[in-house]
């Protein structure tokens, strides 16, 4: 199946769906290291307390928070992929939409926090190669 391509107008219209997904991805990626550390700490404390009920509950709660964040991240990634939008940097909230510009396959480049798509780059040039539309 050929990858999805967008016109500039279609890509800008898709931002209403893309923006919350990218925000969720960025937030989840930022939270994961802290949650992983919380789970390790809670597990250590639970083992040291010989499985006491409060420490076990704390461990289970932190583990459940980690799993929920991971599931949310995976769901957002799958929905973004279903839209044919390429995640380039989850920390920056950077995505690309494949498009044609003067007959050449290029990427329309959008970053979380930008109101609309204002940049493009050739495939492989990435974020440093962004050019104004």
Q: How many domains does the chain have?
A: 1
| Confidence at residue 98, expressed as pLDDT on a 0 to 100 scale | 98
From residue 128, alpha-carbon distances to 12, 120, 131 in Å are 21, 11, 9
> Please, where are the H alpha helices in the chain?
8-48, 53-82
Rg (CA), the chain: 20
Per-residue pLDDT, 1: 76
Residue pair 107/97 in contact by the 8 Å Cβ criterion:
yes
Q: What is the pLDDT of residue 74?
A: 98
Q: Is residue 3 part of a domain?
A: no
DSSP string across 49-83: TTT-HHHHHHHHHHHHHHHHHHHHHHHHHHHHHHT
Task: Print the domain residue range for 68.
Answer: 8-132
Tokens describing residue 14:
């898709």
Mean pLDDT per 10-residue section of the chain, whose length is 133 residues: 93 98 98 96 89 88 97 98 97 97 96 97 92 96
Residue 58 lies inside a defined structural domain of this protein: yes
In this prediction, residue 59 carries a pLDDT of: 92
Residue 2 placed within a domain: no
How many angstroms from the chain centroid is the CA of residue 85? 11
Q: What is the pLDDT of residue 71?
A: 98
Residue 26 domain flag: yes
Model confidence, pTM = 0.89
Predicted local confidence at residue 35, as pLDDT: 96
Whether residue 112 lies inside any domain: the answer is yes
């Amino acid at each position: 199946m050929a990858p999805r391509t967008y016109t500039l107008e279609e890509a800008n219209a898709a931002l209403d769906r893309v923006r919350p997904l990218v925000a969720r991805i960025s937030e989840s990626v930022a939270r994961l290291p802290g949650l992983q550390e919380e789970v390790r700490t809670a597990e250590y404390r639970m083992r040291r307390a010989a499985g006491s009920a409060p420490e076990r509950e704390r461990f289970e709660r932190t583990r459940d928070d980690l799993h929920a964040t991971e599931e949310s991240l995976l769901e957002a990634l799958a929905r973004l992929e279903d839209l044919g939008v390429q995640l380039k940097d989850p920390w920056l909230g950077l995505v690309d939409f494949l498009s044609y510009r003067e007959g050449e396959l290029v990427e329309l480049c959008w970053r979380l926090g930008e109101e609309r798509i204002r940049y493009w780059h050739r495939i492989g040039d990435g974020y440093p190669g962004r050019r104004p539309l």
